[in-house]
Amino acid sequence: MTESSPHRDGITLRILGSFFLVLGLLVLAGIFWHPTDVRAVLVSAASGIVLGGIGGVMVFVGRKVDRTTAPESNGTTTDSAVTDS
C-alpha cells in the first residue's frame, strides 16, 4: 500500500507537532522546579510557549494537509458489479 507524499507529510507534521507540544508542556512544567530564579522562569516560559506554538501550528497544518489529500477509500469498492435477480 503506497500513500501519496502529501498524505505522509500530513501525518509527519501531526506526529512532530504533537512531540513539540508535549515538549513545550514539559518545559513549562519545569518552571515550578526553581520558581525563585526569575531569569530561569522567563527563559523556560518563553521556550515553552515557542515550542508549544510551533507544535500547535504543525498539528494544525498537518491536519489541514491530511484532510485535503486523504485517500478516497472508505471501505467500499467502486468497480464491483451490482446484479439484480
The answer as to whether 13 is a domain residue is: no
What is the predicted pLDDT for the residue at 21? 96
- Torsions phi, psi for 35 (to 5 deg): -75, -5
The answer as to whether 79 is a domain residue is: no
What is the predicted pLDDT for the residue at 36? 83
pLDDT at 9 over 80: yes
How many structural domains compose the chain?
1
The answer as to whether 48 is a domain residue is: yes
The answer as to whether 61 is a domain residue is: yes
The answer as to whether 56 is a domain residue is: yes
Distance in Å from the first CA to the final CA of the chain: 35
The answer as to whether 4 is a domain residue is: no
The answer as to whether 26 is a domain residue is: yes
Q: Model confidence over 22-80: pLDDT tens digits? A: 999 999 998 887 778 888 889 999 999 999 999 999 999 999 988 887 666 555 444 45
Range of the domain at 26: 20-68
